A and B are shown apart, each in its own frame.
Chain A
Amino acid sequence: MADTHSVIGTKNKKGQTFTDTWKMMNDAPRTPSFYTGSEVIKEALRRASCDVMIAYPITPQSEAAALIGELFAEGYIGDYFRGESEFAVMSQCAGAAFGGARVFTTTAGPGTMRAMENFPMWSGARLPIQMIVTCRGINSPLSIQPDTLEIAYLLNTGMLVWHAETAQDFFDWILKGYMVSEEPDVHLPLALCCDGFFVTHTKDVVNLTPADMCLPPYDPYRSPVPCMDMECPPVRMMRDPFVMKSNYISYATHASWQQEVWAAVERSRKHTIKWLNGLIETENTDAEVIIVASGTAVSQGREAIRLLEDEGIRCGLVKVKVLRPWPGEEIREATKNAKHIIVPEFNVTGWLAKEIKATIPNSERVHAGPRVCGGMTMPPEIIVSEIKTLLGIHTVSMASRG
């Protein structure tokens, strides 16, 4: 039987040392590097001991997928290929994970939507695949610009869903993500989302762990389901009686199965808190006005807070790092003193505001906006303007700015 811990300190074929992940992420020296988000994905994967990477090109994830091809050519990835479509890619990822491989993929926007059928299947089959979602518009007319609407569709798939703000988040969370999703009591796929272009195509200083250290390999013997076995569920469940029968036990099995997937999402809470140091980050939660946001809306919120401070208006911030499991208790606690809760979002429906409204008491405190969509940027002045309007402070109309 494979034993993950027994390989710590030994070297892989590229000369990297399998390193205790906690030490690698928390104690190892970091090197500041100036990279795009896509390059950061590549650098994280260089250290991830990934067995299989499969993707189909779609903007804005194509660059990351192509860069990972270079890693394959260099010998850092076990196998790498382009699928026939996003649906094919996610099915092929499932096959690789069923077989006991550590799997990585990237997608975006319409690609996420096209592959959607696979995601509840991944969860139900308990496959700890990691999928980077570089969010973009999904609607017609076609837009490749940043828009986070696709995250709303991922929230009920049974996947873990995290939303990175920066390239640094991305680097750390790709590596930590495997540690959470591969825990035997979790063992679920992770959708690690970011706002496309804003994170993937801009350069930022990212502190990288040493390139000669890598994660311990995935140990499929810790899986809560057997590796690929065409005679046993979860593979055989797809064509066997308990799925097809209309009887009580068929329903009971399905109900238990779904409950187990969502229980596993909940069980990830403990591990996620340990690795990400909490599901949320907070600043000034004693303020009367608090911005609650995820992804790059957090960055815009920070800037708005700075502008408001210049005018003597104090405002707090809650950065929601993890969407599944949902940090309901943390958000309730962080917003208990707030009279106004502002939720800026890069999508038209305001899914984050809806989640927060469903979580906290006195939900009329939630102001679901400002929201931009279709690739629009969100100048911090818009957030400032909405907050001042809520506080009854006269503001100059932003409309005249065109």
Chain B
Amino acid sequence: MGICLPNPGEAHINGVIVPEEKAYEEAAKQFLMAKVPTIFPGPLVLWAWNEKAAKKATAIRHLYNTLKECVQPGQTPMLIPMPDYRPKYPKINPEVEINPNHPNLTIWHNKIDCCMFVGVHCHQANLALKIIRGGTSCYTVAMCAQAGHEDAMLSFRDASVEKIMKLAEWVRKLKGTVQPRLTSAKSGASN
């Protein structure tokens, strides 16, 4: 814990600081390789509490649609919200939401092998990312609006509408060039 986070214009992949451009390519590859690439939008982009949030939400929907267009048969992109941070017991419905305090339920249930957090408050994102890392083998990406996330395997910082759209562009650019992991028995979502 406590790795050095990227400076503006940079990202990190597995804790190694890289130019942001390299991270777009790697994130797009991971999305296109995954059997169930999933976007987890959080409260900061699920409600139109300001104009920027609304625009980000539109960009995230665009990224999701792009993913759906670019994956191959057998791949199932998902968009599962993290609507709030309330602990919910006995458990959440993993088909409709993800809970930062119990994220592995949603990962396991849907066999998600690559996910991206966006619009989640940093503390809650780190909490969930740590548990996902500890309890699943899902590849984690963070599109963070602040300083980035050490607990994601790949993290952007200073997320904006432009950056989300650029990631969508990279997904489209790499369409058909990446071999999906469709033969994997565990789909990367084991515990």
Of A223, A237, A256, chain B has the most CB atoms within 10 Å of the CB of A256
Which B residues fall within an 8 A CB radius of A? 1-2, 4-5, 43, 50, 52, 84-87, 89, 101-102, 121-124, 126-127, 130-131, 134-135, 146-148, 150-151
Which residue of chain B lies nearest to A222 when distances are taken between CB atoms in the complex?
B146
Query: How many angstroms between the C-alpha atoms of A218 and B22 in the bound complex?
Result: 33
Given A185-B122, A224-B121, A263-B150, the answer on whether A245 and B127 have CB atoms closer than 8 Å is no
Contact A185 B102 (CB under 8 A): no
A226 lies within 8 A of B43 (CB): yes
Q: Given A232-B85, A267-B150, verify A225-B135 contact (CB < 8 Å).
A: no
Count of chain A residues near B, Cβ 8 A: 36
* CB–CB A245/B89 < 8 A: yes
User: Are B146 and A224 touching (Cβ within 8 A)?
Assistant: yes
> Which residues from chain A contact B146 at a C-beta distance below 8 Å?
184-185, 222, 224
Q: Within 8 Å CB of B148, what residues of A?
A: 185
Complex CA–CA separation, A237 to B87 (angstroms): 8
Q: Does the CB pair A262–B101 fall under 8 Å?
A: no
Interchain Cβ contacts within 8 Å, total number: 93
Could you tell me the distance between the alpha carbons of A245 and B88 in the complex, rounded to whole angstroms?
A: 12
Which residues of chain A from 239 to 253 have a CB within 8 Å of any chain B CB?
Answer: 240-242, 245, 249, 252-253
* Residues A223 and B87 in contact, CB atoms below 8 Å apart: no
Cβ-defined partner of B87 (8 Å) among A126, A240, A267: A240
Known: A232-B85, A269-B2. 9 other contacts (CB 8 A): A184-B147, A187-B123, A224-B146, A226-B43, A236-B86, A260-B126, A266-B2, A267-B147, A267-B150
Does A210 reach chain B (CB closer than 8 Å)?
no
In the complex, are the beta carbons of A242 and B101 less than 8 A apart?
A: yes
Knowing A262-B1, A263-B150 are in contact, say whether A126-B123 is a contact too (CB < 8 A): yes
For A185, give its contact among B84, B131, B135, B147 (CB under 8 Å).
Answer: B147
Docked Cα-Cα span, A26 to B148, in Å, equals 27
Query: Complex: how many Å from CA A1 to CA B52?
Result: 9
The one of A225, A231, A237 that contacts B121, using a Cβ cutoff of 8 Å: A225
Asked whether, in the complex, the Cβ of B85 is within 8 Å of the Cβ of A253, the reply is no
CB-CB nearest 4 A-B residue pairs: A266-B2, A224-B122, A263-B1, A184-B146
A81 within 8 A of B: no
Among B52, B87, B124, B130, the residue within 8 A (CB) of A236 is B87
Q: Which residue of A lies closest to B89 (CB)?
A: A241
- The residue among B43, B52, B84, B127 with the most chain A CB atoms within 10 A of its own CB is B127
Give which listed residue, A222, A231, A249, contacts B86 with CB less than 8 A. A231
A257 near B127: Cβ-Cβ < 8 Å: yes
Chain B binding surface SS class: loop
Task: Find chain B residues with CB under 8 A from A252 CB.
Answer: 131, 134-135
Which residue of A is nearest B91, CB measured?
A249
Partner of A253, one of B2, B101, B121, B123: B101
Complex Cα gap A272–B1 (Å): 17
In the bound assembly, the distance between CA atoms of A233 and B121 in angstroms comes to: 11
CB pair B131–A253 under 8 Å, yes or no, is yes
A256 near B2 with CB under 8 A, answer no
Instruction: Answer whether residue A183 sits at the interface, using C-beta atoms and an 8 A cutoff.
Output: yes
Contact A256 B127 (CB under 8 A): yes
Check if A5 is an interface residue, CB within 8 A of chain B: no
**Binary interface encoding of chain A residues 110-147 relative to chain B, with 1 for a CB under 8 A from any of its CBs, else 0:** 00000000000000001000000000000000000000
Contacts of A245 in B (CB 8 A): 89
Contacting pair B2 A249 (CB below 8 A):
no
Q: Which residues of A contact B102 (CB under 8 A)?
A: 242, 249, 253
* A265 CB–B CB distance under 8 Å: yes
**Interface 1/0 per residue, A325-336 and B, CB below 8 Å:** 100000000000
Q: Are A256 and B147 in contact (CB under 8 A)?
A: no
Q: Measured between C-beta atoms, what is the minimum distance from B158 to chain A in Å?
A: 11
> With the chains together, A198 CA to B148 CA distance in Å?
41
Q: How far is the CB of B156 from chain A (nearest CB, A)?
A: 14
Is there a chain B Cβ closer than 8 Å to A202's Cβ? no
| Cβ–Cβ < 8 Å partners of A232 in chain B | 84-86
Could you tell me the distance in whole angstroms from the C-beta of A149 to the nearest C-beta in chain B? 28
Does A388 sit within 8 A of B, measured CB to CB? no
What are the residues of chain A within 8 A of B147 when measuring CB–CB? 183-185, 267
A30 sits at the interface (CB 8 A): no
Q: Is A270 part of the contact surface with B, judged by Cβ < 8 Å? A: yes
Q: Shortest Cβ distance from B162 into chain A, in angstroms?
A: 17
A156 at the interface (CB under 8 A from B): no
Q: Chain B residues with Cβ under 8 A from A234's Cβ? A: 123
